[in-house]
Structure 1
Amino acid sequence: MFIHKLQNIFRLGCKELWSLWRDPIMLLLITYTFTMSIYTGASSMPESLNNAPIGIVDEDHSALSERVSSAFYPPLFTPFETQLDQMDAGMDAGLYSFSMTIPSRFQEDILANRGATVQVNVDATRVTQALTGSSYIQQIILTEVNSYLQGHRSVTSLPVDLELRARFNPTLDRQWFGGIMQVINNVTMLSIILTGAALIREREHGTVEHLLVMPVTVFEIMMAKVWSMGLVVLVASFVAVHLVVKGFMHIPIEGNLWLFFLGASLSLFATTSLGIYMATVAKSMPQFGLLMMLVLIPLQMLSGGLTPRESMPEVVQNIMQFAPTTHFVNLAQAILYRNAGFDVVWMPFLCLFAIGAVFFYFALKRFKETIHTMT
């Protein structure tokens, strides 16, 4: 009897894979999600300062003003020499994120200890760059002025020698973090989409009624969708990690990938069950898409993958303990970034299994109720 159930689950799962293979839109979505989406998500750095355009108006044309102007160079800034009457127009047109005006007699006032004012305009619509860039500009100007007055670049002697070592990402390259997190987020997103779309597609095509007259149970139908769609996402993420993350983007991964994919399998068990539950609530694909936005965005934004969970309100942290993405992000970062073993991540594994079992139970119960109403 048990072997017969396994055979039914396997064959129904193969049917789901064949249906997916004949759906070009879904195949295109899978391909894009685990290729271009990973690259664009990792290489776009909205909160980092990267070649920010800065317009520089030098009205002094002194050695000090030229020294300050030449201190703004890539990869932080892309300098542009401009005129005072063109500066506001350039800011309005979005040509410059920053503009700096060095007044006349700037060097003379500095040497005479009369003080000088450098005007810096910031495009605050680019909030993340504005905050970071303002501090960089202030630091660069003060450093160049002080070194000019001293005649050389001096190093301040501190009573404590501080050695800073950036572990797990020694170059502080955001792509190392962004690439892996994009894979983690896409695993959650695509597993919900594929399982939900598979169920809604059968309901719209009327094939659910065909399954009900066959000698299969609701549990077998649902389990087939879980393993087949989970397998697709798992294989796609495996290929993406090796070809896109490690091969194309050259992001080193020190952790045990087999342990990571084991944790991903438990997370897929929970998210595919969630996708089926959402598909039973929605009546059509447009409704499912709207419902997915309400569920997926909080799962990704509050899981700790984009911002530390410690910075969130305590009530949000407590609620997100019941979300599978929270524990998946926790174990994935520990394994892939810090090379943690199972003795470190066993608790997230256990939580994922418990959450997945609960999600599967409620999804199965809801699925049975939906099937009974159809019959």
Structure 2
Amino acid sequence: MRAANIVHLGNKELRSLARDPILLFLIVYSFTIGVYASATAMPDSLNKAPIAIVDEDGSPLSSRIASAFYPPHFLVPVQISQPEMDARMDQGLDTFALDIPPNFQRDLLAGRSPAIQLNIDATRMSQAFTGNGYIQAILDGEIAEFLQRSRSADPSPVELNLRHRFNPSLTQAWFGAVMEVINNVTMLSIILTGASLIREREHGTVEHLLVMPVTPGEIMISKASAMGLVVIVASALSLVLVVQGLLAVQIEGSLLLFFAGTGLHLFATTSMGIFMGTLARSMPQFGLLMMLVLLPLEMLSGGVTPRESMPTVVQLVMEAAPTTHFVALAQAILYRGAGFAVVWPHFAALVLIGALLFSLSLARFRRTIGLMA
């Protein structure tokens, strides 16, 4: 295996990629608009949720509660009657409908436990999930303040002192932007290497490679290294220009350590892309394989949902996936500023997984080359 052959073949891969406008657009879009949209598309908090109020009490307390809902979390409440409540919910006009019963203030001051009915349109999942907590907190605050004026309230014997570490402002964009970069590294490394191999087959240039004095190992390493270099450069520019620059996300750890882990991750995922490229006979087939492989890799790696909340069997199976260890080391480095002493087990796991995937892919690639010959 000669380094000169790998360099020349790698240059060929880069020139081929430069002549493919679709893949170039995918790279640029994924690491710019895709990262920005993923960070900002989901609002950090409830935003302009429509709410209606049925005030059957007509008391100062019920008026106080109605006036507590205002933009930007909620739209200005619409005062409706009880017969209108179900009709408006059926039409999708309101996400929340609050029904304050008659004699609510009188029963509360008398020491009873009156109930307020809250109707939620659960088809609007994002607003319904977070709005319930917002409304409960607003009701508790307004009622507690009202009661403190009429009778003394005992203070809580315990004070909870909160410390929000690693994301003190609880900004969703901090998490979404970095995780989108991590997901794009995995996605594009598999797509670019697999597509480069299928492009060789579709254009008939595999036969040209077979008559050249190069080995299958040199061909595979050149494809993996060239596409991996493109992904690393694109992700580095995205982290610096989009994540840190445009979105003002604070990166706590060493970017050099992160890209060292990225290189090991690419060693595994580019091998996976070549393996999938040998299985698929066309780009449509490769796209279907991508759907079967990429979604589990991203959804079950711990980036979307903590792995501790998954079934034990899924956790054990995903230990063999490179994305699991890449997400863990990336979050530890970029979010919590971890050093090599903390993340070295994930580095070691990526080396082992990458070596195994590279060996399997090389064996499959040699067999495919042999069949073509």
**TM-score, scaled relative to structure 2:** 0.93
The answer to whether the Cα contact below 8 Å between 1:277 and 1:367 also exists between their aligned partners in 2 is: yes
Segment drifting more, 187-196 vs 65-74: 65-74
The answer to whether the Cα contact below 8 Å between 1:46 and 1:129 also exists between their aligned partners in 2 is: no
Query: AA paired with 1:205?
Result: H
Hey, what does 2:186 align to over in structure 1? Answer: 188
d(CA) in 2 for partners of 1:46, 1:316: 30
**Cα displacement (A) at 1:89:** 4.1
d(CA) in 1 for partners of 2:222, 2:25: 23
Hey, what does 1:140 align to over in structure 2? Answer: 138
d(CA) in 1 for partners of 2:369, 2:216: 8
**Cα displacement (A) at 1:40:** 1.8
Hey, what does 1:234 align to over in structure 2? Answer: 232
SS in 2 for 1:17: helix
Segment drifting more, 286-295 vs 62-71: 62-71
Q: 1:230 to 1:156 in 2, by over 3 A?
A: farther
The answer to whether the Cα contact below 8 Å between 1:273 and 1:359 also exists between their aligned partners in 2 is: yes
Hey, what does 1:6 align to over in structure 2? Answer: 3
Segment drifting more, 87-96 vs 169-178: 87-96
d(CA) in 2 for partners of 1:204, 1:153: 81
Segment drifting more, 244-253 vs 36-45: 36-45
The answer to whether the Cα contact below 8 Å between 1:46 and 1:128 also exists between their aligned partners in 2 is: no
**TM-score, scaled relative to structure 1:** 0.92
Confirm whether residue 97 of structure 1 aligns to residue 95 of structure 2: yes
Confirm whether residue 40 of structure 1 aligns to residue 37 of structure 2: yes
d(CA) in 2 for partners of 1:193, 1:72: 48
- Please point out which of 159, 162, 173 is paired with 1:164: 162
Confirm whether residue 65 of structure 1 aligns to residue 59 of structure 2: no
Alignment RMSD (CA, Å): 2.2
CA deviations over 1:270-328 (Å, ceiling 9, x no partner) = 00110110111111111111111111111111111111111111111111111000100
Q: 1:83 to 1:326 in 2, by over 3 A?
A: same
Query: AA paired with 2:340?
Result: F
d(CA) in 2 for partners of 1:289, 1:146: 57
Unaligned runs of 5+ in 1: none
Q: 1:370 to 1:88 in 2, by over 3 A?
A: same
CA deviations over 1:116-146 (Å, ceiling 9, x no partner) = 4433111112345424322332332233123
**Cα displacement (A) at 1:36:** 1.5
**Residues 195-344 of structure 1 aligned to structure 2 (within 5 Å):** 195-344=193-342
- Please point out which of 365, 369, 372 is paired with 2:370: 372
d(CA) in 1 for partners of 2:359, 2:51: 57
Segment drifting more, 39-48 vs 288-297: 39-48
Aligned length: 372
Q: 1:267 to 1:60 in 2, by over 3 A?
A: same
The answer to whether the Cα contact below 8 Å between 2:46 and 2:73 also exists between their aligned partners in 1 is: yes
Query: AA paired with 2:32?
Result: T
d(CA) in 1 for partners of 2:221, 2:44: 42
Segment drifting more, 361-370 vs 64-73: 64-73
The answer to whether the Cα contact below 8 Å between 1:260 and 1:335 also exists between their aligned partners in 2 is: yes
d(CA) in 2 for partners of 1:57, 1:230: 60
d(CA) in 1 for partners of 2:95, 2:176: 24
d(CA) in 2 for partners of 1:156, 1:279: 69
Confirm whether residue 18 of structure 1 aligns to residue 32 of structure 2: no
Hey, what does 2:53 align to over in structure 1? Answer: 56
d(CA) in 2 for partners of 1:13, 1:325: 25
The percent identity for this pair of structures is 61
The answer to whether the Cα contact below 8 Å between 2:44 and 2:173 also exists between their aligned partners in 1 is: no
**Cα displacement (A) at 1:240:** 0.6
The answer to whether the Cα contact below 8 Å between 1:47 and 1:129 also exists between their aligned partners in 2 is: no
**Cα displacement (A) at 1:220:** 0.8
SS in 1 for 2:188: helix
- Please point out which of 155, 172, 183 is paired with 1:174: 172
Unaligned runs of 5+ in 2: none
**Cα displacement (A) at 1:177:** 1.1
Query: AA paired with 1:214?
Result: M
**Cα displacement (A) at 1:100:** 1.5
The answer to whether the Cα contact below 8 Å between 2:66 and 2:77 also exists between their aligned partners in 1 is: no
d(CA) in 1 for partners of 2:155, 2:12: 71
**Residues 66-145 of structure 1 aligned to structure 2 (within 5 Å):** 66-84=63-81, 86-112=84-110, 116-145=114-143
Q: 1:75 to 1:264 in 2, by over 3 A?
A: farther
Q: 1:260 to 1:280 in 2, by over 3 A?
A: same
Segment drifting more, 79-88 vs 359-368: 79-88
The answer to whether the Cα contact below 8 Å between 2:98 and 2:117 also exists between their aligned partners in 1 is: yes
Q: 1:154 to 1:171 in 2, by over 3 A?
A: farther
Q: 1:205 to 1:329 in 2, by over 3 A?
A: same
Confirm whether residue 29 of structure 1 aligns to residue 26 of structure 2: yes
